[in-house]
Chains A and B, each alone.
Chain A
Amino acid sequence: MLSINNISKSFGSFQALDGINLHVRRGTVFGLLGPNGAGKTTLIRIVNHIIAPDSGTLVFDGHPMTDTDVMQIGYLPEERGLYKKMRVGEQAVYLARLKGLDKTTAEQRLHQWFDRLEINDWWNRRVEELSKGMQQKVQFVVTVLHNPQLLIFDEPFSGFDPVNADLLKREILNLKQQGSTIIFSTHNMPSAEELCDDIALINHAHVVLSGPLADIKAQNPGKDLDRIFIDTVKQ
């Protein structure tokens, strides 16, 4: 689905990514793991064409990735935000239209999703009146609304209470079943262990460990992912 080939990026004298190679298989959940400041968000921004890499290429669905391919991505950034003064429905429709949906389809799908997540009553409220968890739900819906082939969630569970985190987890697995490919960046190891098919561990701009989760666990018998993470980072 997505190949990241030899991507490097530096900001001034700071090397954020150094020769990153990764392969994300279609229809899987790919866990992008690593401590804070390892370069995960930079890599995700490069995949989203928000910033350009200094060198390296991206291959999307078998061809060099273009700007139109970005429309096939749904991205939920770690730092989330909405226009505070805008009404929930109006805003969600706007963001969906920016992703290329027409107004009627956007409204239709939004109502379906909002019903499912029980936030339809909030359609005409201003975003600033919503609780943080509620805003996160709205953002999640907006991210997946245009049925993207590739979904990127950056720390999706931060800020969710356990009930909503569980709801979100189920939705992610649901999306996987429907055929979406998911890149999922986190340092919450239990949730990574639960959801991911493949993982990659990034530390100090390099990929230090990658492969199918099952293989990695087999190579480190008796250790949970948390232990493997800490040991690898410490080396």
Chain B
Amino acid sequence: MNKILLVIQREYFTRVKKPSFWILSLVVPILLAGVYAIPIILAARPLEHANVLVVDDSGLFQGQFRSGRDITYHEAGSIDYARRQLEQTDTLDAIVYIPARETTLPRDAYLYYRTDAPSMTVQSDVNSQLQEILRNRILLDVHGLTPDDYTMLTTTHIKLRTQDIETGRDSFLQVKIALGIILAMLVFIAVFMFGSQVMRGVMEEKTSRIVEVIVCSVKPFQLMMGKVVGIGLVGLTQFALWVILSAVAVTGVQLTNADLFEQVAQRNNRTEIASKGSEATTQYQTAQYQAEQYQAGEGIDNSLQDLIQGLTDINYGLIILLFIFYFVFGYLLYASLFAAAGSLVDNDTDSQQFTLPLTIPLLLSILLMPAMINEPSGSISVWLSIIPFTSPAAMLLRIPFGVPVWQVVLSMLLLLATFPLCIWAAAKIYRSAILRYGQKTTWRDVWHLIKR
């Protein structure tokens, strides 16, 4: 027993001391903090102000372009004058030119620039204002409708909520799908990453021939399990570091950019108040209020609110416990098989023959993810989440959607019953194969090794 601890110690510390372990431990939280912070920093960043000169020879757009926070529109009488301005003035960024009409409605408009093309913001603002102004013109001239009438007619406030009829709670499907995918991918990647480390470790011992000395001191089973457990602990350490360092990195970003986050939070608050007001809005209320709200882009902020609500709706304690369970036992199951695969081969290229069949079940549960998301309680989902070889990824995918207790219990029991069998078979293969050199192993040999 003491010896297996020594093996575990060696496997653990030689890996944890490697620079690559720490690089990976740092890179993931930094990426995460980046993903979190960059959109907010970008959103809060003041844009460069642009000046645009409008030349309207069609007579339809006169005085209609509205200046905003980032863009100011000025008017000019002739394109020649505007062109001279653009050539001579540094502060002018572009010219919008609408030629005289040959038909009832103008077909083309131009955005002229010198040297530097105007930003996407300018281009899309000009474009949307062109469309809007022209549309309002048609509405008024042909149908006799004002822009406010139009906004009122086209903006509705009905929203489909998917709810449990008993609890009356929203299902927050999008959030659950995202969470399920993250959990399933994480367990899949972890089992493979650390499982193949076990295989490489076994191959290292075999090809360097040190294994012959070691099996004089420890039983092959102890050596194999020591390696599996040691590397598994490396995996758990890596997870713990990711969680802690991510929390530190995200808080760090928040603290160092406190003013930016404040700004964004305030902006969200404003729109939240606006959209809360919208529930009381009736069609009798002033159209101006509605138009304002229309500009606020309430759609985006409502879904943000949903996200936050959805995230608070999830039972994290349960998810973390199940994640640890499925990682630990899924890993033990696969890692022991990877160890057996490593003991069967002398070199990397031969290992493919045995690792491919191992990867198929887990890969299957990842490939069938879309089908499972579509029907989290369908038969594919249920079967995959109960069969031990696919259950780690499949069950974690389903968990956020809510799974009947008996299915979770059955899946866990089956996994608990299967992993010792895998370790037993793996140990039998490992014990005999670890000292075989130079022979190419076939699947029939493997079967004989297990039977012996």
Give A contacts to B, CB under 8 Å.
45, 48-51, 70-71, 73, 75, 77, 79-86, 94-95, 97-100, 139, 142-143
Distance between Cα atoms of A160 and B216 in the complex (Å): 24
Whether the pair B216, A83 counts as a contact (CB closer than 8 A) is no
Q: With an 8 A cutoff between CB atoms, is B209 at the interface?
A: yes
Q: With an 8 A cutoff between CB atoms, is B3 at the interface?
A: yes
* Nearest B-chain residue to A82, judged by Cβ: B210
A70 with B216, Cβ < 8 A, contacts A51-B435, A97-B6, A98-B3 known: yes
> Could you say which of B14, B213, B435, B437 contacts A95, with CB atoms under 8 Å apart?
B213
Q: With an 8 A cutoff between CB atoms, is B258 at the interface?
A: no
Distance between Cα atoms of A81 and B434 in the complex (Å): 14
Whether the pair B208, A77 counts as a contact (CB closer than 8 A) is no
Q: With an 8 A cutoff between CB atoms, is B138 at the interface?
A: no
Whether the pair B204, A77 counts as a contact (CB closer than 8 A) is no
A50 with B208, Cβ < 8 A, contacts A94-B10, A98-B3 known: no
* Nearest B-chain residue to A95, judged by Cβ: B213
Whether the pair B14, A77 counts as a contact (CB closer than 8 A) is no
> Could you say which of B3, B7, B212, B217 contacts A79, with CB atoms under 8 Å apart?
B212
Contact partners of A73 in chain B: CB under 8 A: 216
A80 with B209, Cβ < 8 A, contacts A86-B14, A94-B6 known: yes
> Could you say which of B3, B6, B7, B208 contacts A84, with CB atoms under 8 Å apart?
B208
Distance between Cα atoms of A95 and B207 in the complex (Å): 18
* Nearest A-chain residue to B201, judged by Cβ: A83
A50 with B215, Cβ < 8 A, contacts A45-B435, A83-B204 known: yes
Q: A51-B435, A71-B217, A99-B217 are in contact. List 12 more A-B contacts (CB 8 A).
A: A48-B216, A50-B212, A50-B216, A73-B216, A77-B212, A79-B209, A82-B208, A83-B210, A94-B6, A95-B217, A98-B214, A142-B213
> Could you say which of A75, A79, A85 contacts B216, with CB atoms under 8 Å apart?
A75
A2 CB, nearest partner CB in chain B, Å: 15
A134 CB, nearest partner CB in chain B, Å: 15
Q: With an 8 A cutoff between CB atoms, is B218 at the interface?
A: yes
Contact partners of A95 in chain B: CB under 8 A: 213-214, 217
Whether the pair B14, A85 counts as a contact (CB closer than 8 A) is yes
A81 with B208, Cβ < 8 A, contacts A86-B14, A94-B6 known: yes
| Contact residues of B: prevailing secondary structure | helix
Contact partners of A97 in chain B: CB under 8 A: 6
| Contact residues of A: prevailing secondary structure | loop
Contact partners of A45 in chain B: CB under 8 A: 435
A120 CB, nearest partner CB in chain B, Å: 22
B313 CB, nearest partner CB in chain A, Å: 48
* Nearest A-chain residue to B222, judged by Cβ: A98
Whether the pair A83, B435 counts as a contact (CB closer than 8 A) is no
Distance between Cα atoms of A98 and B3 in the complex (Å): 6
A48 CB, nearest partner CB in chain B, Å: 5
Distance between Cα atoms of A143 and B14 in the complex (Å): 22
Distance between Cα atoms of A71 and B216 in the complex (Å): 8
Distance between Cα atoms of A74 and B213 in the complex (Å): 9
Distance between Cα atoms of A82 and B124 in the complex (Å): 66
* Nearest A-chain residue to B207, judged by Cβ: A81
Distance between Cα atoms of A75 and B215 in the complex (Å): 11
Distance between Cα atoms of A51 and B214 in the complex (Å): 13
A81 with B210, Cβ < 8 A, contacts A45-B435, A86-B14 known: yes
Distance between Cα atoms of A94 and B215 in the complex (Å): 14
Contact partners of B216 in chain A: CB under 8 A: 48-50, 70, 73, 75
Distance between Cα atoms of A13 and B389 in the complex (Å): 36
Contact partners of A80 in chain B: CB under 8 A: 209
Distance between Cα atoms of A82 and B212 in the complex (Å): 10
Contact partners of A94 in chain B: CB under 8 A: 6, 10
Distance between Cα atoms of A56 and B10 in the complex (Å): 36
Whether the pair A50, B10 counts as a contact (CB closer than 8 A) is no
* Nearest A-chain residue to B18, judged by Cβ: A85
A72 CB, nearest partner CB in chain B, Å: 11
Contact partners of B207 in chain A: CB under 8 A: 81
Contact partners of B14 in chain A: CB under 8 A: 83, 85-86
* Nearest B-chain residue to A152, judged by Cβ: B216
Contact partners of B3 in chain A: CB under 8 A: 98
Whether the pair A75, B208 counts as a contact (CB closer than 8 A) is no
Distance between Cα atoms of A49 and B204 in the complex (Å): 22
Distance between Cα atoms of A49 and B431 in the complex (Å): 12
Distance between Cα atoms of A186 and B204 in the complex (Å): 27
Distance between Cα atoms of A175 and B330 in the complex (Å): 50
A77 with B213, Cβ < 8 A, contacts A82-B208, A94-B10 known: yes
Distance between Cα atoms of A139 and B215 in the complex (Å): 15
Give the contacts of B194-225 with A (CB-CB under 8 A). 204-205, 207-210, 212-218
B354 CB, nearest partner CB in chain A, Å: 21
Give the contacts of B209-255 with A (CB-CB under 8 A). 209-210, 212-218
Contact partners of A82 in chain B: CB under 8 A: 208, 210
Contact partners of B212 in chain A: CB under 8 A: 50, 75, 77, 79
Contact partners of A142 in chain B: CB under 8 A: 213
> Could you say which of A49, A51, A75, A84 contacts B213, with CB atoms under 8 Å apart?
A75
B406 CB, nearest partner CB in chain A, Å: 45
Distance between Cα atoms of A133 and B65 in the complex (Å): 85
Contact partners of B215 in chain A: CB under 8 A: 50
Distance between Cα atoms of A142 and B213 in the complex (Å): 10
* Nearest B-chain residue to A97, judged by Cβ: B6
Contact partners of A51 in chain B: CB under 8 A: 435
Most chain B C-beta atoms within 10 Å of own C-beta, residue among A71, A94, A142: A94
Most chain A C-beta atoms within 10 Å of own C-beta, residue among B6, B204, B217: B217
Give the contacts of B1-21 with A (CB-CB under 8 A). 3, 6-7, 10, 14
B260 CB, nearest partner CB in chain A, Å: 45
Distance between Cα atoms of A76 and B199 in the complex (Å): 26
